[in-house]
Structure 1
Amino acid sequence: MPTVTVTGLPSPIRIEAHEGERLVLALERGGTGILHRCGGAARCTTCRVKFEAGEPERMTVAERDKLQEKDLLGTARLSCQILCDHDMTLTPLQTESGTGLEAGKAPAEQIEPDPVWV
């Protein structure tokens, strides 16, 4: 099982992710308080993370397009568009406790919209 190490919180968290699990769901299950205002559909960028190690090489077209639109390409990734298939170390950039906002509807088990990889 891939290990997701989360930094940038009051104390680091290690999450044993399920193989192929969406990163946003692993982060939520691990108690990070990650935001996902749009429900994990690559529309809002509140689930963005910054990688310290293990950043995936591929991304979905939806992620690339949204990051380009928000001028975030190369500085952040969307956890709703990433599958856990290897170890990663990252910092969530927006959390419920850090912003005072609540997460949106629960993200689906599979990536939405249907992923087209680049």
Structure 2
Amino acid sequence: MPKITIGDRSVDVAAGTRLVLAIEQAGIAIGHRCGGYARCTTCRVAFAEGEPEEMTAAEYAKLSERGLLGQYRLSCQIVCHHDMVIADVPMTLESQGWTDTGPAPEPTVTPDPTTLPREVLASRQG
């Protein structure tokens, strides 16, 4: 079981769990205003350790569009297969003053769960 650590909180999750859901399991009210479809970036996180090498095309496109590529990752587009340490969860219910975090994300990555190396994704953009 992968261990996900955020600050002083850790949670063991089943392999294949979406990171956004694992963070919620750790008791952190992370934003997912678009419902986990890689459209809003409210589920963004910064990694301290264990950042996956690959990403979905939807994540790459949204992070590029918002100028966040290389700084953050979208937790709704990441599946937990190994231990990860999250350095920052900038958008939470408490930090943003929301009344809710957004629609519940599906258990599986949407839209297309295929992950590719960043170099491949970059070559498709240019």
Scaled to the shorter chain, the TM-score interval is over 0.9
Secondary structure, in 3 states, of the residue corresponding to 1:59?
Answer: strand
Instruction: Report which of the two structures shows the higher radius of gyration computed on alpha carbons.
Output: 2
Q: By percentage of residues, which structure has more helix?
A: 2
TM normalised by structure 1 equals 0.93
**Among candidates 96, 100, 108, match of residue 99 of structure 1:** 96
Q: Which amino acid aligns with 1:104?
A: G
TM normalised by structure 2 equals 0.88
State the number of aligned residues: 114
**Among candidates 65, 78, 81, match of residue 82 of structure 1:** 78
Which segments of 5 or more consecutive residues in structure 1 lack a partner in the other structure? none
Q: Which amino acid aligns with 2:3?
A: T
CA–CA distance in structure 1, aligned partners of residues 2 and 113 of structure 2: 21
Q: Does 1:114 align with 2:112?
A: yes
Which segments of 5 or more consecutive residues in structure 2 lack a partner in the other structure? 117-126
Alpha-carbon displacement from aligned partner over 1:37-86 (angstroms, at most 9, x marks no partner):
00000000000000000000000000000000000000000000000000
Q: By percentage of residues, which structure has more strand?
A: 2
Which position in structure 2 is the counterpart of 1:56? Answer: 52
RMSD of aligned C-alpha atoms? 0.8
